[in-house]
Structure 1
Amino acid sequence: MTNKVLVAGASGLVGEAAVRRFAARPGWKVVGVSRRVPEDAGNTAFHSIDLTDAVASRELFGKMGDVTHLVYAALQETPGLFEGWLDETNIERNALMLRNLFDPLSEVATGLRHISLLHGTKAYGVHHPSLGYDGLRIPLRERDPRREHRNFYFDQESYLREKQVHGTWQMTVFRPTVIYGEAAGNNMNPLLPIAVYGALLREEGRPLDHPAGSLEPWLREAVHADLVADALSWAATSPAAAGGTYNLTNGDVFTWAGVWPAIARTLGMPLGEPREVSLREELPRRRREWAAIVAKYGLASSPDVMELVGYNSLVYTDNMMRGAPAGQPVPALNSTVAVRHAGFGACIDTEDMFVELLQRLEAKRVIPPAGSS
């Protein structure tokens, strides 16, 4: 049986990893859509499209009658990131994007069998000022009642549930925690800001300082973009995944104090001290220095540091580097028991994830190799 997966948001953190994962599966065809077409598209068919454009969307997706699977990981954020999570216009925009894609697709893709919808931990409402941590149970469990608040996640899911009444396809919803991966120019990828920050310090002959005023032992979670892609691949053909909603993490917890020495070693740098630095202020000031590094080492990455890391990723990383957020009594840890019981047991040590991903960036010449300066 021929399988063809449509990956929406294919240049994003999850989408890029999903394209690679499905393209590696025998018997699968992959088509990716995003506003930006990746430079290294390989043999995958890509289409550049703005999903807020209903006319262009109908023209494109109305011709995709052979799609059997959909991974919806498309997302639009506003500059500054956090304010946009509460903005009604941004909420409606993201709901509209899914409708613009799926309305025409559902009319022609009569062989559609499965949809994976990408959401995240914000589904639990911890980001929303009307909710916060009042009444929240830790760990976060998918089975707990929804804490009602305005969230495009809910609009998207409700829309697809209504469509499903007249369809024969199944759906799985994923809620990954903070995702780390290789994709450039994204909204919420802390890996590239960390890697570029390290490269800039190393070029100065400085140690790898941690960009926070202190290193508190605050427990955190992460998930490798490739692990999310593996979960999407599993869900596409697993009957046990049908109808499920699943948190995703690497399977462990970490502290910055615990993983920072391994990050320094991988970058070939001595370990520094906590030193409060705002990456969203520091990296834009060092555009010329980054461009010089790219030229000096013949890197394959963009000489424009902001194009490489993405402004919103700097905002996001600054937030991730801080200690316990004000008003947060306990870490917002996710239970991953449900997805394991359903049959997906992949996991990775988070320290190993940082080492692996940084080594990939070096091998792909996105950052200078360890030991160079």
Structure 2
Amino acid sequence: MEEGNPTSPVALIVGVTGMVGVALAEALKKPTALGGPWKVYGVARQALPVWFPSSALDTFIMLDVLHKENTNKILSPISSQITHVFWVAISVNESEEVNVSLNSSMLSNVLDALTSSPNSQVRHMTLQTGTKQYMGPIFDSAFSSHLVPHDAPFREDYPRLPFPNFYYALEDILVSYPKSITYSIHRSSIIIGASSRSYYNLLLSLSVYALICKHRNYPFRYVGNKYNWEHFWDMSDARVLAEQQIWASVTYKANNQAFNCTNGDVFTWKMLWKVLCDVFDVEFVPFDDKENFDVVDFLKDKGEVWDKIVETNGLYKTNMEEIACFKAIQVNLKNLMIQHVCSMNKSREFGFHGYANSLASIAPWVERLRQMKILP
């Protein structure tokens, strides 16, 4: 742990309304939070939604950090207070080259605003990325057909793949700043958490799909291929990600290191599908290899069904197309034929032992989404 901090830590969470942003804010405000007590600032492009736990923030800042001048105007005045930056923001586009440009601009704008003053107090930056580090730009059709992912389990010391990747660009930006600012990189798997503001929200997407099937009495069919139905994957609970990022931000040994961050266990999609069927009380449909089910095509005209479910149950108003990531799910589960598993050895060797039971966490996270009135 850091010793003799001259000031109490002040966190700035960029992307605070996403799954990990919410988990970070709640974790930092716990009396038992490492390095605390923390003061917590949160940044997001849009106003706080009604479901956000307002007690988890001391100050909220509505700001689109893609705009350099505005970012500097708003963040520079608080650079003498912020000691730790938690980066869980993302801009998602089909072109990886565009991803590199936009995400790099966002990160540079924030860091420039916070470090340009001689009174800057920034000591550490955590950067959340993911397993595209080891697979390449799987969502960009210009590259996806000829990608050769690294072998599983994915390890932090694997070399970079020879394709554009905004994760690589963001890491390079961190390294370019003065050595007085330490950093840590956190590579997640599929993230499970509670928010209506995360672009890649697998659990919320599959929940919407299950509820539409239940509402219309459609079979809740698996959306991927046979290989992934039977082979191992892993996931990252948002609370474990938050724990690891806080741990790394106040642990000297973790400075300037990259860590995988998963729950530490594995599952097959057959196992997970049975859990989803139990949670949403829909019939389990065995995978049929003869079917070529396209979930994107199936749900393309179901937005009105979701609108009806939202209205009937008095839910927080959401648009199916905005909260679901069916295309991303299909790319992962229909196109990939790999065991999607990360090694957690390095993280454990450095002293972080956080974990979660992946299958057992599904029902509590769905219940949290129900409490937030995002799901019925």
Check whether the contact 2:233–2:268 (CA below 8 A) recurs between aligned residues: yes
Residue type at the aligned position of 1:107 = S
1:36 is paired with a residue whose SS is coil
Taking structure 1 as the reference length, what is the TM-score of the superposition?
0.86
* Distance in structure 1 (CA, Å) of the matches to 2:276 and 2:71: 42
Residue type at the aligned position of 1:294 = V
* Distance in structure 1 (CA, Å) of the matches to 2:19 and 2:295: 20
1:179 is paired with a residue whose SS is strand
* Distance in structure 2 (CA, Å) of the matches to 1:12 and 1:284: 24
The count of residues paired between Structure 1 and Structure 2 equals 351
* Distance in structure 2 (CA, Å) of the matches to 1:29 and 1:285: 45
* Distance in structure 2 (CA, Å) of the matches to 1:283 and 1:21: 36
Q: How many angstroms does 1:206 deviate by? A: 4.8
- Give the gaps of 5 or more residues in structure 2: 1-6
Corresponding position of 2:66: 52
Compared with structure 1, are the counterparts of its residues 276 and 193 closer, same or farther at alpha carbon in structure 2 (3 Å cutoff)?
Answer: farther
Of 95, 118, 121, 1:84 maps to: 95
Compared with structure 1, are the counterparts of its residues 97 and 219 closer, same or farther at alpha carbon in structure 2 (3 Å cutoff)?
Answer: same
Deviates more, 1:108-117 or 1:210-219: 210-219
Q: How many angstroms does 1:205 deviate by? A: 4.1
Residue type at the aligned position of 1:190 = L
Check whether the contact 2:136–2:161 (CA below 8 A) recurs between aligned residues: no
Of 218, 223, 230, 2:243 maps to: 230
Check whether the contact 1:10–1:19 (CA below 8 A) recurs between aligned residues: yes
1:188 is paired with a residue whose SS is coil
* Distance in structure 2 (CA, Å) of the matches to 1:269 and 1:321: 21
Of 298, 307, 328, 1:282 maps to: 298
> Are residues 1:5 and 2:18 paired?
no
Q: How many angstroms does 1:32 deviate by? A: 1.1
> Are residues 1:29 and 2:43 paired?
no
Corresponding position of 1:204: 216
Corresponding position of 2:371: 363
Q: How many angstroms does 1:184 deviate by? A: 1.1
Corresponding position of 2:86: 71
* Distance in structure 1 (CA, Å) of the matches to 2:98 and 2:274: 42
% identical equivalent positions: 23
Check whether the contact 1:11–1:37 (CA below 8 A) recurs between aligned residues: no
* Distance in structure 1 (CA, Å) of the matches to 2:148 and 2:304: 43
Corresponding position of 1:371: none
1:75 is paired with a residue whose SS is coil
* Distance in structure 2 (CA, Å) of the matches to 1:171 and 1:210: 39
* Distance in structure 1 (CA, Å) of the matches to 2:248 and 2:304: 45
1:351 is paired with a residue whose SS is helix
Q: How many angstroms does 1:272 deviate by? A: 2.6
Corresponding position of 2:172: 158
Of 205, 213, 221, 1:193 maps to: 205
Compared with structure 1, are the counterparts of its residues 359 and 320 closer, same or farther at alpha carbon in structure 2 (3 Å cutoff)?
Answer: farther
* Distance in structure 2 (CA, Å) of the matches to 1:191 and 1:227: 16
- Give the gaps of 5 or more residues in structure 1: 369-373
Check whether the contact 1:208–1:273 (CA below 8 A) recurs between aligned residues: no
Residue type at the aligned position of 1:47 = I
Of 260, 266, 269, 2:279 maps to: 266
Alignment of 1:312-331 (within 5 A): 313-322=325-334, 325=336, 328=337, 330-331=338-339
Corresponding position of 1:142: 156
1:46 is paired with a residue whose SS is strand
> Are residues 1:346 and 2:322 paired?
no
Q: How many angstroms does 1:224 deviate by? A: 1.1
Corresponding position of 1:239: 252
2:77 is paired with a residue whose SS is coil
1:5 is paired with a residue whose SS is strand
Corresponding position of 2:4: none
* Distance in structure 2 (CA, Å) of the matches to 1:239 and 1:190: 34
* Distance in structure 1 (CA, Å) of the matches to 2:342 and 2:238: 17
Check whether the contact 1:177–1:249 (CA below 8 A) recurs between aligned residues: yes
Alignment of 1:215-226 (within 5 A): 216-226=229-239
Q: How many angstroms does 1:277 deviate by? A: 4.3
Check whether the contact 1:284–1:305 (CA below 8 A) recurs between aligned residues: no
Check whether the contact 1:125–1:149 (CA below 8 A) recurs between aligned residues: no
Corresponding position of 1:173: 185
Residue type at the aligned position of 1:265 = D
Residue type at the aligned position of 2:13 = V
Check whether the contact 1:283–1:305 (CA below 8 A) recurs between aligned residues: no
* Distance in structure 1 (CA, Å) of the matches to 2:253 and 2:178: 18
* Distance in structure 2 (CA, Å) of the matches to 1:367 and 1:100: 35
* Distance in structure 1 (CA, Å) of the matches to 2:178 and 2:233: 36
Check whether the contact 2:235–2:263 (CA below 8 A) recurs between aligned residues: yes
2:116 is paired with a residue whose SS is helix
* Distance in structure 1 (CA, Å) of the matches to 2:81 and 2:242: 22
